[in-house]
Amino acid sequence: MQESSRLYRDLTRVLISKQELQEAVAKLGKIISEDYKDKELVCVCILKGAVVFFTDLLRQIDLPMTIDFMAISSYGSSTKTSGVVRIIKDLDHDVLGKDVLVVEDIVDSGLTLSYIKQILDQRGARSVRLATLLDKPMRRRIALSVDYSCFLIPNEFVVGYGLDYAEKYRNLPEVGVLDPSIYTA
């Protein structure tokens, strides 16, 4: 994909390049492979934003595992969290006694992941850890400990590598800052 393509035109800049993404994902995959030796690893993808990160990360984890998917609503098409978190699609399998790694695209207020962690703990998972590609620590509204995070980013709205604005830009191969004129029009 060329930087002159239509998707790139709506960015003010590229924040994280393809190469930086690839390197960070490979590094995280190695760490997780070490940490989950001899565990019953279940990787849970939070749809839809984490899907690109998730599929890349899985292939860097050198362990037997199963995968599952969960969809949560919190945003609609705006760039601010509604504060309301709801399960749209639940896991297909039981997590009782499993070591669950929840994979998310970005932690912003922290409400989504803290809600998911609470549910999986209640369901009797043996452990629940959180992995995120991006973290905006300045925006946290709830205390949340994130176990694995690839990039800390400033308080700007980003898209690409799975992240969307109004369901668009997920297919952009890198992470970029969306031009605010796109959502303040």
Residues labelled catalytic: 108
Q: How far is CA 158 from the centre of its chain?
A: 12
**The pair of three-digit structure tokens given for residue 65, joined into one six-digit string:** 């595992």
Residues in the interface with ligand IMP (CB under 6 A) total: 17
Q: Which does 101 bind (CB under 5 to 8 A by kind): ligand IMP, Mg ion, none?
A: none
Per-residue tokens: 155: 């308080």
Give me 162's structure tokens. 């799975």
Closest to 120 (Cα-Cα) out of 28, 63, 46? 46
**C-alpha–C-alpha distance, residues 178 and 28, integer Å:** 26
Residues within window 48-87 making contact with ligand IMP, judged by CB under 6 A: 49, 74-75, 81
150-169 binders of ligand IMP (CB under 6 A): 157-159, 163
Asked if 183 touches ligand IMP (CB under 6 A), the answer is no
Taking CB under 5 A as the criterion, the residue among 14, 29, 49, 116 binding Mg ion is: 49
Decide: is 135 part of the binding site for ligand IMP (CB under 6 A): no
Closest CA relative to residue 173, chosen from 16, 50, 47: 16
- For the CB of residue 177, give the shortest distance to ligand IMP in the complex, in Å: 9
Query: For residue 22, what are its two tokens?
Result: 């690839």
> Judged by CB under 6 A, does residue 107 bind ligand IMP?
yes
Q: Return residues touching Mg ion (CB under 5 A).
A: 49
